[in-house]
Each structure stands twice: as C-alpha cells, then as structure tokens.
Chain A
Amino acid sequence: MNLNYLRTSACSGASGRNATGLVSRASRLSAAIGCAVFVAIGALPAQASQASGTLDPLSLPAPTAGTLVAITNATIMTASHGTIERGTILIRDGRIAEVGANVQVPPGARVIDGTGKFITPGIIDAHSHTAAEAINEGTQSVTSEVRIEDVLRQDGISLYRQLAGGTTTINILHGSANAIGGQNAVVKLRFGLPVDSLRFAGAPLGIKFALGENVRQTSRSNPSRYPRSRMGVEDLLRDAFTSAREYRARWKEYDGAKAVWDRAKRKSGPEPVPPRKDLELDALVEVLEGKRLVHWHSYRADEILMALGIAKEFGFRIATMQHALEGYKVADELAAAGTGASTFADFWGYKMEAWDAIPQNAALMAERGVLVTINSDSDERARRLYQEAAKTMRFGGASEESALRMITLNAALQLGIDKRVGSIDVGKDADLAIFNAHPFSPGARVEMTLIDGRVFFDRSTAPTLEWLIEQQKKKPRVTSEEGAR
C-alpha cells in the first residue's frame, strides 16, 4: 500500500485562487476529484468512525458550542493587553463575556479544558483570494464596479484547511490585473453554512487597487491594454479620479436642481432628470469621500510614493499598501500618511519588482509606526499565518505581542473591524484559535477554532493525517501476491 500523502499539497489549491480568475468549472472539479482520489488511495479502510449514509451527504453538522462556553486554565494571548496565564474566557451568545485569571464559570456552561493550551484571537488574513468564483476582471484598467461579494462561494475545502490553521476572518481582494480593481469582501470562515452566512456584517467597504508589473502586463507577450508603463498608470489614476470628481459634481448639481423643482409651487419645465448612475464612478466617489478603504497592491518604494502622492492630491487616505516589499524604504512616509502595510514575512524574488526585499521589512516598518500585517495571498500560507508572524520575531526582532498583532488586531484595524474582532477583549466576537503549544513555536498546531463562539474546527473529530494513518493501521494488510489474485 502506497501512502501518497504528498498529494495533500496539490489539493490545497482546489478551490482557491488563480491568476486570471477565469478558471473553468472543469478544472476546479478535476482538482476536487484529485483530492477525493487522494483520500481514497491514501488509506483504504476496514472500519470508519462514522457510518456513511447516516449523514446528509451534502452538508456538515451545524457547528455548535452552546450559548454559554468557558475555556478554562489556558494561556490567553489577548493581542491587546498582554498574556494571561491560567486564565478563563467566558463566552455568552457568541461574544466574549469575561476574560481573566479569576473568572467564575457559571453552572450550565460548556467547559473546554484549556490546560496546557494557548489561545489567540482568531487569525485575520488581510489579503486572501479564497472563497470567490472569480478574482480578476482584467479586461479593463478600471473595474471599480465589480464586487467580490457577488461571487462568493462557500464550499472549497481550502476554507476548512484555513480554519485548521486558526484563521477566522479573511479579506478577499480582487486580483491585481488592473490599476483599479474591484470591491473586496470581508468574510468569516463559517465553513459549511450557506454562502450568505460568510459575510462579515458591518465591515467597512473596500476596494483593491494595483500598481506595477501586473497592471502593465509585463508578463504578457502581447499586452492588450492601456496603460503599459508606470507613468501611464499614474495618468490613468488621475483620469479616473478626475472623472469621479466631475461625476460627483453632476450629481450635486442635479440634487440642487431637484430640490428647487420640488419646492416650487408652480413647476416651470419638466422634472430634472438624474444623471446616469455609474457604478464604476460611485465606488471611486466613495473612495474620495473616505467611505471606501483602498487596499493597494504595490512593491517598489517609488510607486508607493506615487500612490501616496495621488491620494494626497485627491484627498483620501490609503488604508493599506499590500505586499509593500520595499515598504521599509518609505516607512516614515507611510506612517505620516496613516497608511498601513500588509506584507509577506520572507517571500520575494518571484518577479523583478519583488527583488529588493528583506525579511526585516515588517518589523522595521512597525518600528517606524506603520500599522503592519502579515498576510497570506495564498490558500496554503493562510493555513499557517502564525508561523509567518513568528518570522518577524526571528528576523526583525519584533516583540511577541507585536508579531501576534500582525495577524490579528492590526488586520482588524486595517479593515476597520477592530470593534468586533482582532483581540481577546470583553464584548468582542468570540473568534478564537486554541493551540496545543505556543503559537510561535515550531510544533504548534491549532486544536480548535471558534467563530462567534461556535466550533468550526475541532482536531479531535477532524479527518487528520494521523486519523488516516490510524484507519490504515486498522486495515488488514494485503500482500502484493494476495492482491494480485
């Protein structure tokens, strides 16, 4: 029997991101089948813990935990106010009701024994391309009208694997194919529930912008689209925002004329006709008015400065520069502009503009007062963001709490959802990751992941590799001669 475990990594992309967003249903399907095949050939069973057919084959049991849950005697890394040894978290109706070393567990609470365990806030991935059926609308340079929220999907197995890495909230961004991409969606990984349940209710609006080589289509032999240079990108941005200003002015003019017409007792002339509603420009007006957060894909210091200049010229704040591998060169400028940075811990060199990078980037930017996060941009990395955060300590000397915040509270701040998630504080959503060891230690892994106080991942009942091996061991051995008969 050949245990083909290595195939797990090939499966992780089954539902995930793709460069063009144009992945066919067939290729997703074949990837999914590939995973199924892996499970089938990975370990043929004699017994299984659950009789098949008793479950609805197309749904998971509803995640539960009860209205009152207590996680006791754990090391609680709050991300906001230090670490509590042997502490208890009390969850009531999906929110954190109490947290501390001396919390009384009320009768009737479901108790999860946290002895020896480490609890962090649910990890927030500030840059994801999972759970969407399309990522790029790359046919035009400006596509601010498209919305990731329109194309969400809920059932990629990758979502479950990200839960198994303690990730609870993700920022699903449009791709970087065009200068002004689409509107992002902030979701919680409520895997197994209908797609509408994924939405993070009340999260501020946002949009993805991009700079550099992807926008210029440098990897294409036949670039099909303006702009093809960085100066063209800058011009396009100025054009787009100028159009947005004019559009806003037309609406203001109409609103004024309409008000006059409405007030007039004797109507002179016909009722004013509203200007054409333009979804593309609506989104840009929201940016201008500070109602939509800009997450801006960028690598080089010079283009980051260009973006900051455009934002200043048109009077808006950029929420984050995404990737920002050369952010360490312009950390002061970012900090002064109130612009955050969301970067990789040690991933670079995959194209020209991603060359001048250093693993100290995150820590250096944080030292200069930039709000920094470590993101995945990958279904695979999203399963182990705690390891990525640990690298900022190893390479850049970040403090433990600073490193933890880079995957929790800082991401919540960048996305404007810090009142709800990002730290273990009373009143926040009970989104928690329970680790078997210190999350920044090499052997750490997530035992349980809760969202809104409900258990969405529990290693003790998950079909883990260890479980597969156990199943395999229980199976009677078949020699090759017997098998050949």
Chain B
Amino acid sequence: MGHYWISRGGGTALAIAVTLAAPPLNAQSGSWALVNARIETVTRGAIDRGTVVIRDGLIEAVGASVNLPPDVRVVDYSGRTIYPGLIDLTSTIGLPASPAARPPANMEAAIFGASADTSIRNVGLEPGRTIANELRPAAADVRSARDVGIAVALVAPGRGLFRGLSALVPLRDDAATHWIVKSPVALHVGYQTVQGRYPGSLLGVIAYQRQSFFDAQRHATLLDQYRTNPRGMPRASYDADLDALVPVVRGQLPAFIAAGNENEIRRAAALAREFNLKATVVGAVEGFRAIDALKTMRIPVVTVDYPEPASVTGWAYRNAARHDLDDSTTRAAAVTKMLEGNAATLNSAGVKFALASGGVRPADFIANVRKAIAAGLPRQVALEALTIRAAEAAGVEQQLGSIEVGKIANLLVMDGEVLTDSARVSAVFVDGQRYDVIPAPATQQSPARGERRPGVEDKR
C-alpha cells in the first residue's frame, strides 16, 4: 500500500490510497505518467503545469505536483494541453450496414399477422434491439473518429421510430465491444417509418409510439403483480420489445428522441410529458426556435449537422412579408448564421446541452463545432458540451467527461488549444491506452531529465 500526495498549485491537498500491483509493462496499456502538461480538467479548472497518472485504464492521480510512482512510463507533454477525451453521442460506428431488412412479401399478412413471417426484422421498429450485441467496429472508422479526439461514441441506429438500445463504446483498437462503457444507455426513438408495414406515415408513427407506451405501462403492472405473487395470476406475455419499453415508462431508462426541427422538438416534448419520460432530444438543430420545449426535458444532445437554410421552419414566412426581391442569398446567409448560432443561442438562454456530430464525418464534426464557436458559443462551453455534459446526458458522469481521480483515463492531448484553428491532436488515450495521432519522433532514448521531447516516453 502506498500513498501519493496530490496537490494543485498551492491549493488544498488531497490524499488517495492506491493499491500497487506489479503491472505488466504492456506497450498498449501500461501505466503512464503524463508530465509537464497543461491540464484542462473541465470540472475542476485548469492546472498550468501538472501530471496525470494512469493505471489500469483509470486516472490514478492528477495535480500540479504528483509523486511519480516508480513503475510508470513517463511521457513529457511540455507545451501540450491535456483535455478529457471527447464524446460523440450520435455515432453509428460498427453498426451492420443493413441487418436482414426486407419488406414482407405479403403486406396483408404482415398487417393482419395471420401468416406473418416472424423472421422478418423490422429495422427501425425494434425497441429491444440491443446494439451492444451487434457491433463490429471497423478499425479505420474507429481511428478516423479517434484521430479528431473522440474517445467514446454512443452507437445507435440513425433511423426508425423505435431504433433500439444504444451502447457507449470506447474507440480502442482492441476489442472495443468487450470494453463497452455502458449498455443500454437509452432507448432511441425517432420519427421515421418502416418500409412496407404499419405505421406508414408520421401519423401512424406517433400513434404507434403512444400505444406502445400505454402497452408498456400495463406490461409493467402485470410483471410486478406476477413477481409479487404468481399464484392465481395469469402471467404476462413474453415480449422482448415490450420488456425493453418497461424501464422507459418507469423513468429508469432515458428515451433519446431524435428531433431536429422545431415541430419535432415540440412533439418529443409532448410525448415526454404524456408518459413522464426521462427524455433527451437528440438533434435540436432548430433548438433556438423551441427553447421553452427544450427546457422541459433533460439536457439535449445538440448536433452540428446544420440543415440547409431553405429547409428550416419559418423559411416560408419570408414569402409572406415584403422583402428585397433579390435577397435570397442575403437571407440564406442570415439563416445560416442563425443555424450555426443555435448552440450559442441556447447557451445564452440558459439551456445546458451536449454537443454531438449528428453523423457528419469526424473532421467536419470538429469544424462545425468551431462554426458554432465562431457564431458566439464560448469555447469553454463547447468543450464542456463535448465532455462532461455529454457524459451527463449518457448517465456516465461518474466515469467520464472530466479529468478527475478515479475516472476512466480517456484523454485528449492537444498541441494548441482545443477547438481553435491551429490546434492539432497529439495523442488520444482511451481506457489508458495510448494512441499517437501526430507520430512521435523516432528516437526512443532517454534524454537528460528536464529535456524530454514532448510526447516521448521515458521508461523508468
């Protein structure tokens, strides 16, 4: 048993006890001490020059003066800044492209169920679909997301009305699915129909959702009664999809409702209100038009897949007002500004939110976040939205989203300030595994103490 004193720049000191085991020195997953870096903890301020110690995939120590354990590899990150790894809550990494989706041969059979082929999967209408069981992340996809600083991704299907149960996946090269952080995170809900069956329209989609939640409420009651006393009780039917909805109507599992435009956000709020759901809007690209509705739900996941101006609610209003007849370009530019200012507007209105990609390519994700910053979103708020707020939205704020002792060692090492023009990602740590993005210099010899090159490890 050893004790390490961790303190931050003349502030209070706190002690933690750490069990020392003899660690196998694995090139991938060893114990690390990242020294001489600026550390942006997100939740506890910044440390101008400090150390982060990583062991067993967790943050063991963090502070301005940390005694280095003897068995860690030291990496000098002078001139670099360490941030929590970013979290993207709108990913489809590793989802099968099209899992056995085929429309029923006979519509009537599908509708009336008499001879319905039960092997048909209605992708998008599978509340019980457990994404964790299906994931096969491709190394290239994982790397391209990680290379922009994303350490974990929430994976859920992108279409459908009951899409399934999402999984929070670490973006590591080895057995990412083996190390899933959390599953299920939420039931994912949306407004798309499923080919070739009921419901075949938005009308039917919402009615189907409403009926399903009523069914789940009743199912929950029946299950409870049967559990209490099975004698003399007819048992509830076994229905994996209905079972999946039970924790949602009980408020134990959040519903992530994909809602982009104003009316979708208001529909999501109405559904949440009707069934007292723990609801998170995912998308909210027109959140600035529905701030009142957003405030009635959990913190939203605001995506940066900006829509085209002409598709935005209210665009038609311009035709109802006298305006410069050739102002289409001007107007579109103003609306674009408004769309990119969505997050800034929400922030000014006191709405807390997570930021997410909305499915755009990783590089565009970061570029689009920077557009939001250019439109007035404070950079620090953007950073929080990509880390601790995202962790809160996914219910993993105890494990992720900031640099604190005991949290998972997901770290982003930047050359420059994150989310600025000149910033470059040096390395990303996922579960304490180090992935260099800017390749470290070839030389591995230990330079004299205090003269280490940034990013080069010193094995001690």
Residues of A bordering B, CB below 8 Å: 14-15, 21-22, 25, 29, 32-33, 35-36, 39-40, 42-45, 48-53, 55, 57-61, 133-140, 143, 145-148, 150-157, 160, 174, 182, 191-192, 194-196, 224-226, 269-271, 273-274, 276-280, 461-463, 467-468, 471
The answer to whether A57 touches B334 (Cβ under 8 A) is yes
Indicate if B107 sits at the interface (CB-CB under 8 A): yes
The answer to whether B262 touches A50 (Cβ under 8 A) is no
A471-B325 CB under 8 A given contacts A39-B319, A146-B203? yes
How far is it, in angstroms, between the C-alpha of A133 and the C-alpha of B199 when the chains are bound? Answer: 14
A270 to nearest B CB, angstroms?
A: 6
The answer to whether B319 touches A60 (Cβ under 8 A) is no
Interface pairs (24), CB distance under 8 Å: A22-B200, A35-B319, A39-B325, A45-B324, A52-B323, A52-B330, A52-B334, A53-B334, A133-B202, A134-B203, A137-B198, A137-B201, A139-B198, A140-B111, A146-B199, A146-B203, A150-B207, A157-B319, A194-B266, A194-B289, A195-B263, A279-B207, A279-B211, A471-B325
The answer to whether A151 touches B206 (Cβ under 8 A) is yes
A57-B331 CB under 8 A given contacts A48-B323, A270-B225, A463-B319? yes
Name the residue on B nearest A59 (C-beta).
B314
The answer to whether A269 touches B312 (Cβ under 8 A) is no
Indicate if B68 sits at the interface (CB-CB under 8 A): no
Indicate if B326 sits at the interface (CB-CB under 8 A): yes
Residues of A within 8 A of B272 (CB): none
The answer to whether A55 touches B321 (Cβ under 8 A) is yes
The answer to whether B328 touches A40 (Cβ under 8 A) is yes
Residues of B within 8 A of A40 (CB): 325-326, 328
Indicate if B313 sits at the interface (CB-CB under 8 A): yes
The answer to whether B334 touches A192 (Cβ under 8 A) is no
Residues of B bordering A, CB below 8 Å: 107-108, 111-112, 193, 197-204, 206-207, 210-211, 214-215, 218, 221-222, 225, 229, 232-233, 262-263, 266-267, 270, 289-290, 308, 310-328, 330-331, 334-335, 338
Residues of A within 8 A of B267 (CB): 150
A58-B338 CB under 8 A given contacts A136-B201, A143-B207? yes
The answer to whether B201 touches A269 (Cβ under 8 A) is no
How far is it, in angstroms, between the C-alpha of A148 and the C-alpha of B308 when the chains are bound? Answer: 27
How far is it, in angstroms, between the C-alpha of A313 and the C-alpha of B115 when the chains are bound? Answer: 33
Q: Which of B206, B225, B312 has the most chain A CB within a 10 Å cutoff?
A: B206
The answer to whether B108 touches A224 (Cβ under 8 A) is yes
The answer to whether A147 touches B324 (Cβ under 8 A) is no
Name the residue on B nearest A278 (C-beta).
B211
Name the residue on B nearest A145 (C-beta).
B207
How far is it, in angstroms, between the C-alpha of A124 and the C-alpha of B310 when the chains are bound? Answer: 30
**Majority-rule SS of B interface residues:** helix
B294 to nearest A CB, angstroms?
A: 13
Name the residue on A nearest B203 (C-beta).
A146
Residues of B within 8 A of A134 (CB): 201-204
How far is it, in angstroms, between the C-alpha of A225 and the C-alpha of B232 when the chains are bound? Answer: 41
How far is it, in angstroms, between the C-alpha of A155 and the C-alpha of B263 when the chains are bound? Answer: 10
Name the residue on A nearest B228 (C-beta).
A270
Q: Which of B112, B202, B317 has the most chain A CB within a 10 Å cutoff?
A: B317
Name the residue on B nearest A21 (C-beta).
B201
Residues of A within 8 A of B326 (CB): 40, 44-45
Q: Which of B201, B315, B328 has the most chain A CB within a 10 Å cutoff?
A: B201
The answer to whether B263 touches A57 (Cβ under 8 A) is no
Q: Out of B232, B262, B320, which one reaches A160, CB within 8 Å?
A: B320
The answer to whether B232 touches A58 (Cβ under 8 A) is no
A58-B325 CB under 8 A given contacts A139-B197, A160-B320, A270-B232? no
How far is it, in angstroms, between the C-alpha of A53 and the C-alpha of B193 when the chains are bound? Answer: 38
How far is it, in angstroms, between the C-alpha of A139 and the C-alpha of B112 when the chains are bound? Answer: 11
A101 to nearest B CB, angstroms?
A: 35
Residues of A within 8 A of B319 (CB): 35-36, 39, 157, 160, 463
Residues of B within 8 A of A49 (CB): 322
Name the residue on B nearest A156 (C-beta).
B316
Residues of A within 8 A of B206 (CB): 146-147, 150-151
A158 to nearest B CB, angstroms?
A: 9
Name the residue on B nearest A50 (C-beta).
B322
A439 to nearest B CB, angstroms?
A: 22
Residues of B within 8 A of A25 (CB): 311
The answer to whether A58 touches B310 (Cβ under 8 A) is no
- A57-B334, A225-B107 known; 9 new pairs, CB 8 Å cut-off, are A15-B316, A21-B203, A49-B322, A50-B324, A134-B201, A147-B203, A155-B316, A157-B319, A225-B111
Residues of B within 8 A of A29 (CB): 308, 310-311
The answer to whether A277 touches B214 (Cβ under 8 A) is yes
How far is it, in angstroms, between the C-alpha of A276 and the C-alpha of B193 when the chains are bound? Answer: 24
The answer to whether A155 touches B322 (Cβ under 8 A) is no
The answer to whether B289 touches A143 (Cβ under 8 A) is no
The answer to whether A194 touches B211 (Cβ under 8 A) is no
